[in-house]
Amino acid sequence: MMSNGSTASGFWKRNQRQWAPWLFLAPGILMFLVYVILPIFQSIWISFEDWDGLGPKTWIGFGNYIELFQDEAFYTSLWNNILWLVLYLLAVPAGLAIALFLNQTVAGIRLYKSLFFFPFVISQVVVGLIFTWFYAPDFGLLSTLIKTLTGTEIAVLADERYVTYGIIAAGLWPQIAYCMILYLTGLNNINPEQIEAGRMDGARGFRLFWNIVLPQLRPATFIALVVTVIGALRSFDLVSVMTAGGPYGSSRVLSFYMYEQALSEYGYRMGYGAAIAVVLFVIMMVFISIFLVRMFRQERNS
Amino acid sequence: MFPTPVQKSGPLASAAYQIILPIALVIWLLPLLGVAVTSVRPSGDLAAGNYFGIPSSFAGVENYKAVFRDSPIGTYILNSFKITIPTVIGAVGLSCLAGFALAVYRFKGNLALFFLFVAGNFIPFQILMVPVRDLTLKLGLYDTVTGLVLFHVAFQTGFCTLFMRNFIKGLPFALIESARVEGVSEWRIFLHVVLPLMRPAIAALSVLIFTFVWNDYFWATVLVQGQSAMPVTAGLNSLNGQWVAAWHLVSAGSIVAALPPVLMFFLMQKHFIAGLTLGATKG
């Protein structure tokens, strides 16, 4: 653009403010369109087809969805997703509790905070393996503990009644750490004058926390809720690593069931898998829309 | 400060707090500590039923050596680096450009584009799985490091752009204005005025994306099949299937796989937390 002749550079000089943003955006938008935006629509399209991933595709309309709504495994997965969602939200108050516990200024507290945050940094595959070992019958730390306390043994991951709760507990571990760090940052930025004013007015303990501290933590609470809801609905790694959906498919969630249908030894049913993914997408869109509307309002106000 | 500092509640409370703190930490990290101890346990201990006691001897060197000798975990680790480092460079680079455009220029569709990037972050991976796998196959990139890198770059660009745009919005706009008055081209403004100020954002995003991509498991199972391109997360899971009941090896492998992001976190802690808690303080 330096020496492309006077007319060309003149044109560029006059119009660069108009064109520059699009040139800056082009590579990012291109990648995002090809790998993220377009595939959403392709998936929706494929969900109306019967396809093994290689051969010809056959249009079957709502065939996949009709099958889905009569599929017991689908309802098991959906129910487990609801369980995940509800119980995963415990990470928010638990994270807040640990943050309140750690928000002190004693020697070495920084190191303590980092070590409490540790579970979030390691891979969910490793978390899954750690908890599989923790739950293992005969020698796992937890089952030994239960055995000494109650005298009976529980194989958490092999028992249809407990398996999903066991996996969710494993998922809560890093998620609580995540919420904790959000709240620690939030607590760090609280206006100390308001706290002091509250104390002057005689507010103490829980009332001070509820009326003055918690409202100031709202941004942290919002982010904690967003990442926890998304995390609950995205849960895949732990289910795959700890039980592969078992025993007898009782710990499946939608994301895992979708993967199983589309890509595992059970067959390559791309259309059916896509239909499951679309259902998960629709459920998530409900939450995503709420988040986006809130963020959009903030953008416009700022 | 809330809650009230323990020091104000007297020496007794202060001492109690200092005693409870390490106990709470040990309980919190109990599963991890168990794995760490198991990774240095000789295999004889497990056979003899000594799962919790003090290891009969220190077999750490032996176990970790065995993991590297008897399994392709070295290759897996190398693959993880080959996937993670180019992804960090690609995603951070693209989002510097895109974030600059969205933060600095007013044009029609700016906010809509921004929210497209934001929304993309939240979608379930499964809705992308079939088409992305198909595309990767068609490009001849299935089971390659490049195939994974391209996807990760594209997906992470969403989050990175959100981050960069908000960061640049916080910079003093007068700097850009005065450069424009002096007739500096837009590209040079980006390169010489804004980019040098973005260093903290680039550092924060780099550690975050490194951790996210290193820990990815789902896409590694979808886009990779063989050993040649498999990252350590998926590799570790398949090793877990082979090492039935060899918990000392599984533990050592887990520690090896977890180490790079943990080191990254401890070295760049300030940046890591700054990146993760973006938005937790304002808005």
**B143: helix, coil or strand?**
coil
Residue B278 falls in which region: left (phi positive, over 0), alpha (psi -120 to 50) or beta: beta
B1 within some domain:
no
Q: Is residue A149 pLDDT above 90, yes or no? A: no
Chain A residue nearest residue B48, CA to CA: A139
Q: What percent of chain A has pLDDT over 90?
A: 54
**Chain B neighbors of A17, CB-CB under 8 A:** 105, 186
Cβ distance of B254 and A187 shorter than 8 Å: no
B283 within some domain:
no
Question: Which domain covers residue B39, as residue numbers?
Answer: 6-68
B281 within some domain:
no
Mean of the per-residue pLDDT values for chain A? 88
B137 within some domain:
yes
A-contacting residues in B 50-69 (Cβ below 8 Å)? 51-52
Cβ–Cβ < 8 Å for B249, B243? yes
Q: Which of B68, B87, B114 is the last residue of a domain?
A: B68
Average pLDDT over residues A167-187: 94
What's the ipTM? Answer: 0.90
- pLDDT tens digits, one per residue of B191-228: 999 999 999 899 999 999 999 999 999 999 999 988 89
Residue B50 shares a structural domain with residue B111: no
Taking chain A, what is the end-to-end CA distance rounded to the nearest angstrom? 36
CA dist., res. A166 & res. B51, Å (int) = 21
B55 within some domain:
yes
A137 within some domain:
yes
**Chain B neighbors of A240, CB-CB under 8 A:** 217, 221, 237
Give kind and range of the element (H or E) at residue A190.
none
For the four alpha carbons of A54, A59, A64 and A65, in that order, the dihedral sign comes to: positive
CATH number, domain of A249, equals 1.10.3720.10
**Chain A neighbors of B185, CB-CB under 8 A:** 1, 16
A-contacting residues in B 74-113 (Cβ below 8 Å)? 94-95, 97-98, 100-102, 104-105, 107, 110-111, 113
At A112, is the pLDDT very low, low, confident or very high (cuts 50, 70, 90)? very high
- Residue B23 contacts A, CB cutoff 8 Å: no
**A267: helix, coil or strand?**
strand
What pLDDT, on the 0 to 100 scale, is given for residue B283? 41
A290 within some domain:
no
What pLDDT, on the 0 to 100 scale, is given for residue A26? 94
CB-closest option in B25, B132, B254 to A126: B254
Residue B32 shares a structural domain with residue B121: no
Name the amino acid, one letter, at A17. Answer: R
Q: Which of B24, B39, B68 is the last residue of a domain?
A: B68
A104 within some domain:
yes
The closest alpha carbon to A154, from A137, A175, A167, belongs to A137
A-contacting residues in B 151-190 (Cβ below 8 Å)? 151, 153-155, 157-158, 161, 185-187, 190
CA dist., res. B85 & res. B81, Å (int) = 6
Cβ distance of B154 and A35 shorter than 8 Å: yes
- Residue A241 contacts B, CB cutoff 8 Å: yes
Low-confidence ranges of chain B (pLDDT < 70): 47, 49-52, 279-283
- pLDDT tens digits, one per residue of A224-273: 999 999 999 989 999 999 998 878 889 999 999 999 999 876 668 999 99
Residue B122 shares a structural domain with residue B39: no
What pLDDT, on the 0 to 100 scale, is given for residue A139? 73
Question: Which domain covers residue A260, as residue numbers?
Answer: 85-268
User: How close does chain B come to A285, measured CA to CA in Å?
Assistant: 8
Residue B43 shares a structural domain with residue B80: no
Residue B54 shares a structural domain with residue B147: no
For tokens 């070495």, what's the residue? A108
Alpha helix ranges (H) inside chain A: 6-32, 38-46, 63-68, 72-88, 91-102, 109-121, 124-135, 141-150, 163-188, 192-200, 205-208, 214-216, 218-234, 237-242, 254-263, 270-301
Cβ–Cβ < 8 Å for B80, B260? yes
Count of structural domains within chain B: 2
Cα separation values, A206 from A117, A181, B2, Å: 25, 21, 11
B-contacting residues in A 253-292 (Cβ below 8 Å)? 254-255, 258-259, 262-263, 270, 273-274, 276-278, 280-281, 284, 287-288, 291-292
Q: DSSP string spanning B53-115?
A: S--SS--HHHHHHHHHHHSTHHHHHHHHHHHHHHHHHHHHHHHHHHHHHHHH---TTHHHHHH
Average pLDDT over residues A21-45: 94
Cβ–Cβ < 8 Å for A42, B135? no
- Residue B273 contacts A, CB cutoff 8 Å: yes
Residue B149 shares a structural domain with residue B209: yes
Q: Which of B68, B84, B119 is the last residue of a domain?
A: B68
A301 within some domain:
no
Residue B245 falls in which region: left (phi positive, over 0), alpha (psi -120 to 50) or beta: left
What pLDDT, on the 0 to 100 scale, is given for residue A266? 65
Residue A49: beta bridge partners?
Answer: A59
Q: Return the C-alpha torsion angle A258, A131, A165, B23, nearest 10.
A: -140
A287 within some domain:
no
What pLDDT, on the 0 to 100 scale, is given for residue B49? 67
What pLDDT, on the 0 to 100 scale, is given for residue A154? 80
What pLDDT, on the 0 to 100 scale, is given for residue A225? 93
The closest alpha carbon to B275, from B214, B222, B189, B210, belongs to B210
Average pLDDT over residues A197-217: 86
Average pLDDT over residues A183-201: 87
CA B209 to chain centre: 5
CATH number, domain of B218, equals 1.10.3720.10
DSSP state of A49: E
B200 within some domain:
yes
Residue B80 shares a structural domain with residue B198: yes
Residue B35 shares a structural domain with residue B167: no
Cβ distance of B25 and A116 shorter than 8 Å: yes
Q: For chain B, what percentages of helix, strand and coil (3-state, to nearest 5) are there?
A: 75, 0, 25
Count of structural domains within chain A: 1
CB-closest option in A124, A183, A278 to B217: A124
A56 within some domain:
no
Residue B38 shares a structural domain with residue B126: no
At A7, is the pLDDT very low, low, confident or very high (cuts 50, 70, 90)? low
CA dist., res. A196 & res. A203, Å (int) = 10
CA dist., res. B91 & res. A28, Å (int) = 8
B231 within some domain:
yes
- Residue A43 contacts B, CB cutoff 8 Å: yes
A151 within some domain:
yes
Residue B24 shares a structural domain with residue B147: no
